[in-house]
Chains A and B, each alone.
Chain A
Amino acid sequence: AQSVTQLDSQVPVFEEAPVELRCNYSSSVSVYLFWYVQYPNQGLQLLLKYLSGSTLVESINGFEAEFNKSQTSFHLRKPSVHISDTAEYFCAGGRCSNYKLTFGKGTLLTVNP
């Protein structure tokens, strides 16, 4: 079975600092990989995805993630965070991009002034 592991349950950082949220997936099958963001009291929003092609994918708000097949990782990074980036971030993977995703347990990113 597919599994997705987020190594950090909470990541506190100061505003304008860089951040990396870690995600590893099981390599038993090839998968599509996603990062979703959940702001307080809201549903999930797709942040970025890796389906194929370039292993470095970017979001419109400055986040990027790199698919690393050898390390089975899909870590999320941002060089300089804002307070508005405070949210829960979920890594997810699946055999299909729109079907039965397996989610990690989430990482709470808290950006402090």
Chain B
Amino acid sequence: GAVVSQHPSRVICKSGTSVKIECRSLDFQATTMFWYRQFPKKSLMLMATSNEGSKATYEQGVEKDKFLINHASLTLSTLTVTSAHPEDSSFYICSATTGTTEKLFFGSGTQLSVL
């Protein structure tokens, strides 16, 4: 089956650091990727939709300058948490799909801890 690789799986950063999270589709071309945030005991919150070659579409309440998304190729999307602070600590998950499949494929997630 299709595989989505997400790195890093876990990262601890000092407050004020910018952190980049990568999401790669390993064996298919992902025309669309999604970024989610998952709080403890909470559901996934869709942050943004990323289409290859165009600007990401952010959900209401998500700061686009805080969470920079780049989908430069059909196999890679990156989420950069700029100047991260402790309140940005969370589990971030990406998912990817192609234009010809009915399925979403999820990365394994990134646990970001900002101290």
Contact = CB atoms under 8 A, between A and B. Distances in A.
Nearest to B57: A100
A90 B43 contact: yes
Interface string A24-53: 000000000000100001111110000100
Interface stretch (A11-19, A78-86, A102-110): A102-110
A42 B109 contact: yes
B108 A46 contact: no
Interface in B64-115: 93, 95, 97, 101-104, 106-109, 111
Contacts of B97: 98-99
Contacts, number: 48
Interface residues of B, number: 22
A99 B34 CA distance: 9
Given A100-B46, A105-B42, A106-B43, A43 B103 contact: no
Given A43-B107, A43-B109, A100-B49, A106 B42 contact: yes
A43 B101 contact: no
Nearest to A94: B104
Contacts of A104: 43
The 7 closest A-B pairs by CB, nearest first: A43-B108, A98-B97, A97-B102, A105-B43, A43-B106, A103-B43, A44-B106
Given A43-B4, A44-B44, 7 more contacts: A41-B109, A43-B107, A43-B109, A44-B93, A45-B106, A103-B43, A105-B42
18 contacts: A42-B108, A42-B109, A43-B93, A44-B44, A44-B93, A45-B106, A46-B103, A90-B43, A90-B44, A97-B103, A97-B104, A99-B32, A100-B46, A100-B49, A103-B43, A105-B43, A106-B41, A106-B43
